[in-house]
Amino acid sequence: MRLWLSRSSEVPLRKQLVTQIRLGIISGDLRVGQKLPSTRELARRFHIHANTVSAAYREMHRSGWVEFRPGSGVYVRGHSDEQPREDEFGVDQLIANFFRTARARGHSLQEIQARLRQWLMLQPPDHFLLIEPDSELRQILMVEIKAATKVQVVGTDLDDCGNADTLMGAAPVTMYSQIERVRAALPPDVEILTLHSRSIPESLQNQVRPSADALIAIVSRWPDFLRWAHTILVAAGLDPDALSFRDARLRGWEKGLSSTALVITDSLVASQLPATVNTRVFPVVSDSSLDELRAFVERSFK
């Protein structure tokens, strides 16, 4: 069996070894009982550390793909009917057959990689990639986007968003305030969806104003949400002395909430509050932006 290892790849060498040997077993290139190259031999052949090879073999041993024979070496393990091989008729089988056919027709690994990447980039997206440097805001936005679109959402920061593997199958989305920074971090041909924050009038729409003497708690892990809520509530004419602000990152933030008339919170912390608390959620993303995301899903997620 021929192996390829790329030092420039972001995939660890150990994982490259495990994946290729596993595909070799599934495809039949490696037969049950066949002896695999020794740790020293593979390390010397690919100029890698012997510990990398040993770690790959140990991982395959734990998952039942190979067996160690004391004093003899590493061998492909047989699987009984009661112990079916993982994903034997699934995507790994398809990939293994594809590589075997491509190699038989004389295509180089470099050519296969280039064509695979082109085909993968042509596929419609299957998830949103939320790019937001503030980790607390990122978690809130992920909850709101997923609730509105029913689509998987993956979050990342500016440092990792330009990675080709991160962008694979993703529809990048960011807040309007971050668009220039995100655009600079992404390849120029990548489309970016933008989100707008909910305005104060939009946040107050259809909200019933609490009584003047009501104690109101505002709870969030995102400091800007606490400041934002303060501005909204004061603009609505509420007494600042009746407002209790709680940072949900701090220990004991939930104490005394049951004695408040109302708890105002974000879309993330709302799920952590007891059902007995009178809760009012202030979303961050505007309704129009969420409508645009839903329309994008209908149009592009096929």
Give tens-digit pLDDT for 118-170: 777 667 899 999 999 999 999 999 999 999 999 999 999 999 898 878 888 89
Domain ranges across the chain: 13-120, 124-198+291-300, 200-281
Given a cut of 50, is residue 81 above it in pLDDT?
Answer: no
Task: List beta partners, residue 173.
Answer: 130, 193
**Cα dihedral sign, 185-187-188-193:** negative
Provide the pLDDT for residue 252. 92
How many angstroms separate the CA atoms of 280 and 302, rounded? Answer: 35
From 1.10.10.10, 1.10.540.10, 3.40.50.2000, 3.10.580.10, which CATH number describes the 13-120 domain?
A: 1.10.10.10
pLDDT tier at 73 (50, 70, 90 boundaries)?
very high
d(CA 88, CA 135): 39
State mean pLDDT over 217-245. Answer: 88
Structure tokens at 119: 């085909």
pLDDT band at 203 (very low <50, low <70, confident <90, very high): low
Segment 38-52 mean pLDDT: 92
Least confident of 48-62, 75-89, 142-156, 283-297: 75-89
Assigned architecture for domain 124-198+291-300: 3-Layer(aba) Sandwich (3.40)
d(CA 79, CA 30): 14
d(C-alpha 135, C-alpha 157), whole Å: 8
| Conformational region of residue 170, where left means phi above 0, alpha means psi within -120 to 50, and beta covers everything else | beta
What is the structure's pLDDT at 267? 95
From the CB of residue 249, how many other CB atoms can be counted at a distance below 10 Å? 11
Evaluate if residue 89 carries a pLDDT over 60. no
Q: What is the DSSP letter of 31?
A: -
Per residue in 256-299, pLDDT (tens digit) is: 898 898 899 999 999 999 888 999 999 999 999 999 999 999 99
Nearest to 132 by CA among 222, 10, 266: 222
pLDDT in the model for residue 150: 95
Could you give the CA distance from residue 292 to residue 46 in angstroms, rounded to a whole number?
Answer: 50
- What average pLDDT does range 231-254 have in this prediction? 87
224 phi/psi in degrees, rounded to 5? -65, -30
Whole-number Å distance between alpha carbons of 47 and 24: 21
Query: Which residues, listed in sequence order, are joined to residue 216 by a DSSP beta bridge?
Result: 243, 262
pLDDT the model gives residue 210: 65
Our measurement of the distance from residue 183's CA atom to the centroid of its chain's CA atoms, rounded to an integer in Å, reads 20
Output the six-digit token pair for 221. Answer: 């892990």
